[in-house]
Chain A
Amino acid sequence: MTIVMAAIILFGLTLIFATLLGVAKEILRVDEDPRIEQINEVLPSANCGGCGFAGCADFAKAVVEGKAPCDGCPVGGAETAADVAAILGIEVVQTAPFRPIVHCGAKTQDKLGVVPYEGIETCVGANIVGVTQACAYGCLGYSDCVRACTFDALHMVEGRPVVDYDKCTGCGACVKACPRDLIELIPFKEERMLVVACANKESAKAVKAVCKVGCIGCKLCQRFAPDVFEVPGNIADINYEKYTGEETEEVKKVLDKCPAEILLYFGRPKLKHAEQLAAEKAATSRN
């Protein structure tokens, strides 16, 4: 008899609580946009903060609320942007991915006036001493950007940082880490882009005194290819809005004539470029 009573009481309680829960579910329901969850699923989940938000979930919420553009994830690139746009039901305009380039191409042996430095071995520490090398603008070579990179896409090669564009996602952590503002994100319209690898704003004489390869501001590039190059002060600048990455005759001529060795190609070489590079390498090694 007791066992029957217990069963009845429990059954009754279950009914009461089930009804309560059912009612509560209806009354206390919070509507969350299902798209947030969907977008969160297509995002790369790197949580790198490259988009400017606290993480991927935060970014997904911001996209749905219209606070962030659907191609705002630098890690996912065009594919993710397309997926996000499909979920939101809008169309995304294809944009070139932004990737970092370094405005200093001086190798260890190119830098002049290097003095022994005994302080903290970071760029931030060396920068306040300011005099570990003669050039006050160039790369200090103490790897702050390499440490900042969470994708292992930056490495120190011959005293300057070299970006591994296969691994790089364009999150911009290295840009923030550099105390001399040498790293910049530019649109990679082609697989490889031309870059002015110098940041020294001083006159030719002062540049020559501190670096073997620095830009002397001779304005030769501006003369040969005025569409691509500008020389506002003592240093050349490439207009990335106009420059498409195309290797035109003018650009080739500039590359040939430039007296400094600061116009460098950054990025992954295309197949034809790779062949060309290999041929050049073979030629130099034979000499």
Chain B
Amino acid sequence: MITALRERMSGLKSFQRGIHPPHRKKYSESVPIELFTPESNLLIPMSQHIGPPCKPTIKPREEVTYGQKIAEIDHPISAPIHATLAGKTAMIAVTLLPGPGGRRCDAVPIKLASDGEALPPDFLAQFLDRNWDSVEPTSYDPEEIIQKIRAGGLVGMGGATFPTYFKLKRNPDQPVDTIVLNGAECEPYLTADHRLMLECPEGIVCGLMLAKHAAGAQRAIIAIEENKPDAIEAMKKAAQGRPDVEVMVCAAKYPMGGERQLIPAVLKRVVPSAPKGLPLNVGVVVVNVSTAHGIARAVVKDLPFTHRVVTVTGLGVKKPGNFLTPIGTSFKELIETCAGGVTDQALKVLAGGPMMGPTVPSLDVPVTKGVGGITVMIDAETMHREEQPCIRCGRCIDNCPLYLSPTKIAHAVKHGDYDLANQYDMQACCECGCCAFVCPAQIPLAHYIRAGKNEWNHIQVQRKAANK
């Protein structure tokens, strides 16, 4: 209540509803980005984006160099995959993905080349290179930028993994006037975007300007939560001298980083509800900080998307930190080598933060393009008690940032009435988990809704098969 009042009074950008979970970013927010080069083999999954999985374009036992394209598919919603380190490929294997649902897909294993040859020299310095001021975005042709982004294999690195080029492509029917850089990082624990904003703000701003030019937008907004004052300073400094860029400070509130919350907060525009409504309908494109950095690298330096900053944090690891990790590294190696291994009390490992991150079944899953963090939690950090009956207090409804009625949907799902759940707009839910966080009866509402959505899709497939 007091927090909400303060947010109103202080003029911070904010949206209606939402929650204030503990930030717990202190474990890793002051640790600089370190480069991590694994010693064991990489396993690069073929499905790292929304859309159909890629097909390998290389043969087993073929030498690959750093950044060589190893897989692609001819489909608009897709992104090619590159060799993240130099080495030799092996027979295609099957791997579990860190995302929800325990999905599996094909993966290309890469046996690493001997030390020092796997990566270009001074990779970290080159990744965090701050000398971007000389780049003039308008000197590039928009079509050329789009092509380079596509070739670079960039996807939305906030976790949705939607191919970036497709978002930025100019569409005469739906012109884009504003591009929003998402530096909110509202998920507790994670600090990967925060560190990147501190250590390479010029690159991010350059990427944002390129994206703005490609999409044909007139205005660019950098949105950062107030709990990262140093990042706000750094980004303001980097954006100096660039016209049409504005840094906006948002309230530290969850889920500020969601597109449907960030756009109303900074622009006062309401995005139509999912699954049909998109930010594009109101002339806005939202780009993540890491993605913007990737755009600058892909367009100016022709470097593909091979590494990303991953936060390894939580009380369950000995040495939390932010690591520049090649895609395809196993969680196990990253946690053991970099973060000093897990402590004795470590209970569960999440791919992402605690609000939306799914628990991983085994530590053998690889880091993919959408994994921004690994959170290892101990028993005291988790909150699990027995599910109690709903007391109809309405807190989930008061806190749902999408104005849904989670309790109604969850009850419909519980009784297997998926048509009723759809009448309550189950498909619009973004699964942010605010409802389950505030529920005094400990009902896993978000889990019910997620299960309901999944089962509904399953029923659709069954019906289609029956009609054939």
Contacts and interface: CB of A to CB of B under 8 A. Distances in A.
A120 B448 CA distance: 7
B451 A127 contact: yes
Interface in A98-154: 113, 115, 118-120, 122, 124-125, 127-131, 134, 136
A114 to B, nearest CB: 10
Given A131-B359, A179-B458, A125 B451 contact: yes
A256 B56 CA distance: 42
Interface in B348-392: 358-362, 384, 387
Contacts of A202: 94
A113 B361 contact: yes
B349 to A, nearest CB: 11
A206 interface: yes
B2 to A, nearest CB: 33
Contacts of A113: 361-362
A257 interface: no
A119 B444 contact: yes
A206 B364 CA distance: 14
A176 interface: yes
A128 B362 contact: no
B419 interface: no
A128 B100 contact: yes
Nearest to A122: B451
Contacts of A124: 413, 451-452, 454-455
A117 B96 CA distance: 18
B94, B100, B455 pick with most chain A CB within 10 angstroms: B455
B462 A119 contact: no
Contacts of A118: 384
A128 B101 contact: yes
Interface in B83-101: 94, 96, 100-101
Interface residues on B, range: 20 to 34
A181 B448 CA distance: 20
Contacts, number: 57
B451 A206 contact: no
Contact of A128 (B416, B451, B459): B451
Contacts of A125: 447-448, 451
Nearest to A125: B451
B96, B361, B387, B454 pick with most chain A CB within 10 angstroms: B361
Contacts of A127: 101, 451, 454
A165 B462 CA distance: 25
A120 B449 CA distance: 11
A130 B447 contact: no
A115 B102 CA distance: 13
A1 to B, nearest CB: 69
A181 B458 CA distance: 9
A33 B454 CA distance: 44
B270 to A, nearest CB: 29
A119 B442 CA distance: 11
Contacts of A136: 102, 104
Contacts of B94: 202, 206
Interface string B447-468: 1101110110011001000000
11 contacts: A115-B361, A120-B447, A120-B448, A124-B455, A125-B448, A127-B451, A130-B102, A131-B359, A131-B361, A136-B102, A179-B454
Interface of B: 94, 96, 100-104, 358-362, 384, 387, 413, 416, 444, 447-448, 450-452, 454-455, 458-459, 462
**Interface pairs A-B: 8 shortest CB-CB:** A130-B102, A131-B361, A131-B102, A130-B101, A125-B451, A128-B454, A124-B451, A124-B455
Given A119-B444, A120-B447, 10 more contacts: A119-B447, A120-B387, A127-B101, A128-B447, A128-B450, A128-B451, A129-B102, A131-B359, A136-B102, A179-B458
